[in-house]
Amino acid sequence: MATPAWRDLFPFESRTLQVPSGRLHYVDEGPRTADPILCLHGNPTWAFHYRRLIAEARPFHRVIAFDHMGMGLSDRPTNFAYTLEGHVKNAVAFVDALDLKKITLVVHDWGGAIGMGMALARPERIARITVMNTSAFFIPRLPKRIAICRAGVLGEFITRGLNAFARAATTMTTSIPLAPEVKAGYLAPYASWRRRIGIWNFVRDIPMEPDHRSRATLAKIDLGLKSLQKPVQILWGERDWCFTPQFREEWQARFPRAYVHKFDDAGHYLIEDEPGGVIARIRDFAS
């Protein structure tokens, strides 16, 4: 059987780490003596999202990317709550188990809230943070195309049955269309109803309602952001219809001394639209 073309784009050794809720899949490339760049993805992506950063930075940096529980090549436990709090605990367990120090944290989409939650729990392990089209605070805005995917049984059918959330993401998140093999790479881990449990639960976990299960967790993370006395870099795709420039402005309000670079023609998957500029800035910042 022929190897899928997307595999050539992600030629890294797969590793797993057992945490209380299951096994996390991750890649760990580059010299172990170098300070780590730790990349946290969002929904509906996985470590594949950072493939070019990993490939280009690993000659000089240790680059690590793990898949959140229920996502990518990690386990799909049915007894895991799939809440923001649960994902933060997994991230904390991950950096503790690998004993990562002087971390350059890179976050995107859901990786923002999860990564900031981890950073607040383990600030002594964090050296600096790069933020890309994400949030770690509440803004009362939810695009209709995402809201319908949260709509109970219908939303679950759309997200898990039709795989519409992940499929739509391969066409709606970039200004430059993704190549077929890149689309295939993003979709590869999500080939069945069972394997889409993480996607559905991330959509469900968007804390829009005041009594939502993750609203208090998100509020606590937001409250702690200003206590993170770390250098922050904000890289933003300005054509993102989900994490609009309003979110960037909120990050700047919380980190007024942050270095900010706006990519005017890039969308939500900033690193796909502007790989050269994004990767260069992350590497420079990590150095």
> What are the tens digits of pLDDT across the range 216-274?
999 999 999 999 999 999 999 999 999 999 999 999 999 999 999 999 999 999 999 99
pLDDT of 2: 65
Q: Among 211, 74, 45, 194, which Cα is nearest to 134's?
A: 45
SS3 173: coil
pLDDT of 74: 98
121-144 pLDDT, tens digit per residue, is: 999 999 999 999 999 999 998 999
Cβ atoms of residues 107 and 210 within 8 Å: no
pLDDT of 3: 74
Please tell me the distance from the alpha carbon of residue 104 to that of residue 107, in angstroms, as a whole number.
Answer: 10
SS3 236: strand
Q: Could you tell me the domains of the chain?
A: 11-140+213-286 (3.40.50.1820)
pLDDT of 4: 87
pLDDT under 70: residue ranges of the chain: 1-2
pLDDT of 1: 57
Residue 110 tokens read as 């859901």
pLDDT of 192: 98
List Cβ<8 Å contacts ≥24 apart for 161-167: 161/193, 163/187, 163/190, 163/196, 165/43, 165/44, 165/199, 165/200, 165/203, 166/44, 166/190, 166/196, 166/199
